[in-house]
Amino acid sequence: MRLTRKQLDHLPSGLARPSYDRSQPVGVVHLGLGAFHRAHQAVYFDALMQAGERGWMIRGASLRSGRVAAQLNPQDGLYTCHVRDAEGEARQLVRSIHDVLVAPDDPAALISAMSAAETALVTLTVTEKGYRLDPQSGALLLGAADIQSDLANPDRPTTVPGLLTAALAARRAAGLPAFTTLSCDNIPDNGRRTRAAVLAFAKARDPDLERWIADTAAFPSSMVDRIVPATTLADIDALEDVAGYRDEAMVKTEGFTQWVVEDWFSDRRPPLELVGVEMTDDVAAWERIKLRLLNGSHSTLAYLGALAGHDFVHQAMAAPGFADLVEAIWDEAEPTLDAPAGFDAATYRNALTRRFANPALEHSLVQIAMDGSQKLPQRLLATLRERHARGDASPALCLAIAAWMRWQMGQDEQGRAFEVDDPLASQTRAALAAAGPEPADQVAALLAIEAIFGNDLVGRAGIVDTLVAALTELRSRGAAACVASGLARAMNPADA
């Protein structure tokens, strides 16, 4: 029995299900309707409407394929959020998604949805690469072929900046206020960067439009936190066995959830504080904590754990030396945090340890390893630069970065080939091929990729020496032995 609204009366009694009227207006359009949005923002809006607020139904949009639309539309937008912790599990029916559009099939329909009078908020989870920003400068890649194509065909855009600009232009032409654009991706200062990308695109298209957006549109920053592993066919089958219905759109997640939003809106503002969202004037400090403690250690676990032969985060955390590796990353990152009042680093770190060790989630290390070239600058390299400026050594960070370099070789420690899933994979592959077999040459070749590393790290001898030493050890001894031996704390050149 496929989950649909017709089946609501036949669902199991233990399933939590809100009772608000789903025929209310759509107030939110979400770009990038993946598992994370369904386990995070959509759950908050579900709770908001259950609390009596109206007009915050979500129209989702897939920007690449029709897979999510095929999962959700036959189910009338309904799906199950399955919370799994070591202490137990709970299932909730989420009803906040109205339907799903597929942007490549009909970009005009998406532009129309964003420019509709009832739409007040456009939210985004499109991953770092979706914004078409230079990872180092944060500037829009105006020369990119897809951006140039959008400028030449403004009514059929394919990129996020092109779609947002087209919808804002339509609202301006209709005499409507600008919607609020709320980025929910792991990018530092994500609201300002999104605004800069849209303004750069709009200026290239129409300077008058750029000025209108700059004067009227809000682009608040936000920080989101919830671990959401990829749902597997086995998860869907298991839910069907227990609950008696088939849910192709289900998501699984942990009990912990957090959302911090900058209180800056250009149209109607959802009262998200009613459902636990922290509204603030300063998101940056929370962003830095999340990126450098949670995300930085997650990426560290992903590369070293996968190279060591583990599949999931909790397996790596249980292996010799990995918990200490994570602590070493945190020890290096913590002094660089400009923490907000009331933040307790020890409590936060202890909570992360419990979350990473959760065996019920089965969070794939390979999933976390994806798109590393887009993630490294904010998760690891920013911390490394700050520590270097302070004169502090960073052996744990360098080991993590060296593990990313080892990952780019596309071959595990048993000699088996695998695909490096990254938008710059062809560049890293070419750089390594030209470098030859020596670790020093490989480090130099990868550091020379300015889109990832900028142009400053290649000249910092202490950092380069530590990276070469780490990559040499990883290649000769393997990740498991390096981590078990405490290599993350052992390499400590005085000038690193």
Band (pLDDT 50/70/90 cuts) for residue 495 is very low
pLDDT at 496 over 70: no
Segment 416-428 mean pLDDT: 95
Lowest-confidence pick of 201-205, 346-350, 387-391, 488-492: 488-492
pLDDT reported for residue 132: 95
The whole-angstrom separation of Cα 317 and Cα 342 is 28
pLDDT reported for residue 85: 87
Q: 246 and 362: one domain?
A: no
pLDDT at 284 over 50: yes
Q: 460 and 400: one domain?
A: yes
Segment 461-467 mean pLDDT: 95
Residue 419 lies in a domain: yes
Vertex 366, ends 360 and 367: CA angle to 5°?
70
For all residues of the chain together, what is the average pLDDT? 95
Which residues sit opposite 181 in a β-bridge? 122
Q: Output the CA–CA distances (angstroms, integers) from residue 373 to 46, 398, 407, 438, in the order listed.
A: 34, 15, 11, 22
- Those residues with Cβ within 8 angstroms of residue 295's Cβ, 6 or more apart along the chain or in another chain: 186, 375, 378, 379
Nearest residue to 300 (alpha-carbon basis) of 396, 381, 412: 396
Q: 305 and 276: one domain?
A: no
Q: 292 and 150: one domain?
A: no
Q: 43 and 145: one domain?
A: yes
pLDDT reported for residue 135: 82
The whole-angstrom separation of Cα 352 and Cα 378 is 19
From 249, 280, 311, give the residue that closes a domain. Answer: 280
From 250, 280, 310, give the residue that closes a domain. Answer: 280
Residue 20 sits in a domain whose CATH number is: 3.40.50.720
Band (pLDDT 50/70/90 cuts) for residue 492 is low
Residue 126 lies in a domain: yes
Residue 456 sits in a domain whose CATH number is: 1.10.1040.10
- Kindly provide the residue ranges of all beta strands, DSSP E only, lying in 110-154, ordered along the sequence: 121-124
What pLDDT, in 10s, does the model give residues 8-55? 888 887 898 889 999 999 999 999 999 999 999 999 999 999 999 999
Residue 496 lies in a domain: no
- Domain of residue 483: give its range: 284-490
Number of C-beta neighbours around residue 149 at 10 A: 14
Segment 166-179 mean pLDDT: 98
Q: 340 and 477: one domain?
A: yes
What pLDDT, in 10s, does the model give residues 59-111? 999 999 999 999 999 999 999 999 998 778 999 999 999 999 999 999 999 99
Band (pLDDT 50/70/90 cuts) for residue 494 is very low
Segment 462-490 mean pLDDT: 96
Residue 312 lies in a domain: yes
Residue 50 lies in a domain: yes
From 280, 298, 317, give the residue that closes a domain. Answer: 280
Three-state SS for 425-477 is HHHHHHHHHHHCCCHHHHHHHHHCCHHHHCCCHHHCHHHHHHHHHHHHHHHHH
Lowest-confidence pick of 32-36, 250-254, 458-462: 458-462
Q: 244 and 295: one domain?
A: no
Which phi and psi (to 5°) does residue 246 adopt?
-100, 125
Segment 480-494 mean pLDDT: 86
Band (pLDDT 50/70/90 cuts) for residue 491 is confident
Reduced to 3 states (helix: H, G, I; strand: E, B; else coil), residue 86 is: coil
pLDDT at 291 over 60: yes
Band (pLDDT 50/70/90 cuts) for residue 414 is confident
Residue 166 lies in a domain: yes
Work out how many domains the chain is built from and give that number.
2
Q: 224 and 297: one domain?
A: no
pLDDT at 447 over 90: yes
Residue 495 lies in a domain: no
Number of C-beta neighbours around residue 470 at 10 A: 28
Reduced to 3 states (helix: H, G, I; strand: E, B; else coil), residue 175 is: coil
pLDDT at 222 over 70: yes
Q: 95 and 117: one domain?
A: yes
The whole-angstrom separation of Cα 36 and Cα 25 is 23
Q: 261 and 311: one domain?
A: no
Q: 296 and 352: one domain?
A: yes
Residue 305 lies in a domain: yes
Q: 251 and 393: one domain?
A: no
Segment 446-471 mean pLDDT: 95
